[in-house]
């Protein structure tokens, strides 16, 4: 009957119950799919926003290595532009101060330009946590002389004799007759710690040594004094320009001098190579973790490449 009526009114056929059901499901899918995608998008957006808000808000205290301070400060400034609710405060003072402050719960992240000592790790154990380290970059403690000094290379034994006071005149090293004016980093510095371990071999500095608080201060003094010698991290060399001269070093009398190039530092052929670390008391979380992750990201590592050898670049 329905088909006869349809023919009379000009309809060729009447939909069956099965076709109506398929039509309904097709229309339902047509409207439901965009709604479902919108719901999923909202979940991802608001869920991600909540997670980002948790990571990008709050204050993080970072203290330690003067060698690392400029690059970590640059990372903090970039990080805060991307996460405006975060507040990352970076201060220097030396690797020893940074680790000590971390061990006593005063800060969130320590910066150290040396390996952690067993004593520091043991103390952390007494406080029921382990120190977690994150290598950010490689560096070479670079010995520098005034740009007018003709000395071409030095051995670690010669450096030992200079900084312990056994050699006091450049003429003893084949240069012009002039008093040697040695400058060293103050106690607590990771740079000074490495120099003392590998060059002085834990012997005391000479009484005539002049101690300075930062690498930049050493570069400035060596640039201003013809007879000066000092040591610094790679990142501070730019401030001296051609007024200071990095000196290639030989590990012993049988070794050829090696300049502090990225290749020599990465391969550890340069005798004063080292890594730079961020340290936390246990696994980091929240904003502290987000900041460390940023320092290890491509954007953060690009900031370290300005003065150091970025860890990520070694994987290429």
User: Would you list the domain boundaries of the chain?
Assistant: 60-138+275-315, 142-266
Highest averaged pLDDT of the listed ranges 32-36, 140-144, 233-237: 140-144
265 falls in which pLDDT band (50, 70, 90)? very high
Q: The tokens of 150 are what?
A: 């003709």
Residue bearing tokens 């499901």? 25
Query: In whole angstroms, what is the distance from residue 145 CA to residue 113 CA?
Result: 22
pLDDT grade for 64, boundaries at 50, 70 and 90: very high
Report pLDDT digits (tens) over 215-252: 999 999 999 999 999 999 998 998 899 999 999 999 99
CB atoms within 10 A of CB 198: 18
Distance CA 286, CA 296 (A): 16
- State pLDDT tens for residues 79-120: 999 999 999 999 999 999 999 999 999 999 999 999 999 999
The pLDDT of residue 24 is 42
Closest residue by Cα to residue 99 from 75, 118, 80, 76 = 118
Q: What is the dihedral of CA 292, 296, 299, 305, to 10 degrees?
A: 120
User: Per-residue pLDDT for 315 more than 50?
Assistant: no
> In this structure, are residues 213 and 222 in contact, taking their beta carbons and an 8 Å threshold?
no
| CA-wise closest residue to 228 among 257, 208, 200 | 208
Under 8 Å CB-to-CB from 75, ≥6 apart: which residues?
291, 294, 295, 300, 303, 304
Burial 151-163 (b: 16+ CB within 10 A, else e): beebbbebbbbbb
Pick 142-266's CATH classification: 3.40.190.10, 3.10.350.10, 3.40.50.1100, 3.30.2400.10: 3.40.190.10
What's the CATH number for 60-138+275-315?
Answer: 3.40.190.10
299 close to 287: Cβ distance less than 8 angstroms? no
pLDDT of 167 higher than 50:
yes
Mean pLDDT (the chain) is 85
What is the C-alpha to C-alpha distance for residues 206 and 111, in angstroms, rounded to an integer? 28
Q: What is the pLDDT of residue 253?
A: 86
Dist. CA 50–CA 189, nearest whole Å? 40
Q: What is the mean pLDDT of residues 5-33?
A: 42
H helices then E strands: how many in the chain? 11, 13
């Amino acid at each position: 009957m329905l088909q006869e009526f349809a023919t009379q009114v000009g309809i060729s056929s009447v939909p069956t119950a099965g076709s109506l059901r398929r039509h309904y499901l097709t229309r339902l899918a047509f409207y439901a799919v965009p709604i479902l995608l919108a719901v999923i998008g909202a979940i991802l957006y608001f869920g991600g926003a909540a997670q980002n808000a948790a990571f990008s808000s709050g204050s993080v205290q970072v203290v330690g290595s003067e060698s690392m301070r400029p690059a970590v400060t640059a990372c903090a400034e970039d990080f805060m532009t991307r996460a405006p609710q975060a507040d990352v405060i970076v201060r220097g003072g030396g690797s020893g101060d940074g680790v000590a402050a971390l061990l006593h719960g005063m800060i969130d992240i320590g910066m150290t330009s040396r390996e952690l000592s067993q004593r520091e790790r043991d103390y952390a154990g007494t406080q029921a946590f382990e120190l977690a380290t994150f290598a950010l970059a490689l560096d070479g403690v670079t010995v520098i002389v005034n740009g007018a000094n003709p000395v071409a290379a030095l051995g670690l034994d010669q450096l030992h004799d200079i900084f312990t006071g056994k050699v006091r005149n450049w003429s003893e090293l084949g240069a012009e007759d002039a008093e040697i004016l040695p400058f060293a980093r103050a106690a607590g510095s990771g740079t000074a710690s490495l120099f003392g371990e590998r060059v002085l071999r834990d012997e005391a500095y000479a009484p005539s040594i002049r101690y300075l608080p930062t690498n930049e201060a050493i570069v400035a003094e060596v640039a201003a004094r013809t007879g000066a010698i000092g040591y610094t991290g790679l990142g501070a060399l730019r401030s001296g320009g051609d007024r200071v001269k990095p000196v290639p070093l030989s590990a012993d009398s049988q070794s050829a001098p090696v300049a502090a190039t990225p290749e020599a530092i990465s391969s550890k052929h340069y005798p004063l190579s080292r890594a730079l670390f961020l340290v936390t008391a246990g696994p980091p979380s929240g904003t502290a973790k987000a900041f460390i992750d940023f320092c290890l990201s491509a954007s953060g590592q690009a900031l370290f490449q300005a003065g150091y050898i970025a860890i990520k670049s070694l994987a290429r």
